[in-house]
């Protein structure tokens, strides 16, 4: 029988589990026994090259989780991204709540990176602000929000939790059109320019990729065409107008924002009526307790 890596891991793995960072993707000891006579490994999805089970597991271990840590995130809704080595929480309300900065369940996990970092965003806005008061969509200028989030806001965070933040590359490349119907191109365009810092905003593609209905909502064009049904299938929607990190490459004054209805529009960067939802990366060394539900959120230690 042919099994994809995820199903194989969940169904056939026998041995000592050392650590997990996503559903069914498992770190195993060298002593683990694999009943290789019962399965055929299919590596077409992972892009790896081994055609035997033990070699495939070793490849997956070394490629995707070199620093996975000793923690478990085992809730439904964490999906492997086809465009980057990341795992996204998707759907209307996955178990991705996390307590940070003393705010109980006040943040949510966007993704788990393959190097073990955890990307989180604030559930609610810290207020309506201009993306840039000078009407520039260059985050690296620095934009007004860049300065505020990495100055005043960062300095206001709890000192213990603040020490868990790791400076990381954020994708700040622009998109040319609201009619983008190719997610691979969109991700590539966003990643074409990187900014390294502590706090930013979610990208437009992250908003789209956390929606569970890939057939109807999996690209920017589809999202805007089917937003009335898409809005109930992605947890980032919060009935508010909020800024993304993604600028328009066609006009130096425009930045993409998500509307309360769930569709996406571009807006002048100086507009002050859009919400700000800080986004940051936690170190791969953090430990998590809790189950990720709103009543029992993950807690960082």
pLDDT in tens, 162-217: 999 999 999 999 998 887 889 999 999 999 999 999 999 999 999 999 999 999 99
Closest listed residue to residue 224, CA positions, set 207, 203, 238, 239: 207
- Rounded to an integer, what distance in angstroms lies between the CA atom of residue 24 and that of residue 132? 42
Buried b / exposed e along 248-280 (16+ C-beta atoms within 10 A):
bbeeebbbbbbbeebbbebbebebeebbbbbbb
SS3 86: strand
List Cβ neighbours of 7 (8 Å cut-off, separation of 6 or more). Answer: 24
Q: What is the mean pLDDT of residues 283-295?
A: 91
Alpha helix locations (H) across the chain?
A: 5-12, 53-64, 144-148, 154-156, 159-162, 183-190, 204-209, 214-217, 220-225, 227-230
Residue 77 — very low, low, confident or very high, per pLDDT cuts 50/70/90? low
Residue 8 — very low, low, confident or very high, per pLDDT cuts 50/70/90? very low
Question: How much is the pLDDT for 78?
Answer: 81
Q: For the chain, what are the domain ranges?
A: 2-64, 125-277
The whole model's pTM is what?
0.78
Question: How much is the pLDDT for 250?
Answer: 86
């Amino acid at each position: 029988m042919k099994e994809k890596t995820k199903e194989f891991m969940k169904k056939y793995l026998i041995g000592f589990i050392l650590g997990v960072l996503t559903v069914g993707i498992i770190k195993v000891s060298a002593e683990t026994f694999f009943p290789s006579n019962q399965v055929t490994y299919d590596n077409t999805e992972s892009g790896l090259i081994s055609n035997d089970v033990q070699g495939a597991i070793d490849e997956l271990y070394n490629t995707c989780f070199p620093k996975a840590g000793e923690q478990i995130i085992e809730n439904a809704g964490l999906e492997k991204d086809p465009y980057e080595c990341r795992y996204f929480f998707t759907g209307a309300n996955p178990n991705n709540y996390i307590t940070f900065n003393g705010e109980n369940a006040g943040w949510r996990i966007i993704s788990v990176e393959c190097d073990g970092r955890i990307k989180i965003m604030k559930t609610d806005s810290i207020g309506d602000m201009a993306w840039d008061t000078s009407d520039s969509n260059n985050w690296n200028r620095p934009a007004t929000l860049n300065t505020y989030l990495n100055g005043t806001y960062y300095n206001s965070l709890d000192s213990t939790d603040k020490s868990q933040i790791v400076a990381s590359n954020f994708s700040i490349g622009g998109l040319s059109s609201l009619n983008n119907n190719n997610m691979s191109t969109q991700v590539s365009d966003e990643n074409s320019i990187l900014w390294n810092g502590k706090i930013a905003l979610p990208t437009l593609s992250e908003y789209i990729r956390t929606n569970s209905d890939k057939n109807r909502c999996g690209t920017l064009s589809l999202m805007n065409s089917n937003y009335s049904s898409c809005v109930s299938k992605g947890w980032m929607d919060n009935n508010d107008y909020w800024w993304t990190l993604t600028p328009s490459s066609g006009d130096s004054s425009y930045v993409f924002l998500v509307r309360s209805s769930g569709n996406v529009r571009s807006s002048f960067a100086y507009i002050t009526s859009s919400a700000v939802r800080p986004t940051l990366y936690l170190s791969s060394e953090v430990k998590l307790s809790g189950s990720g539900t709103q009543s029992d959120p993950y807690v960082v230690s």
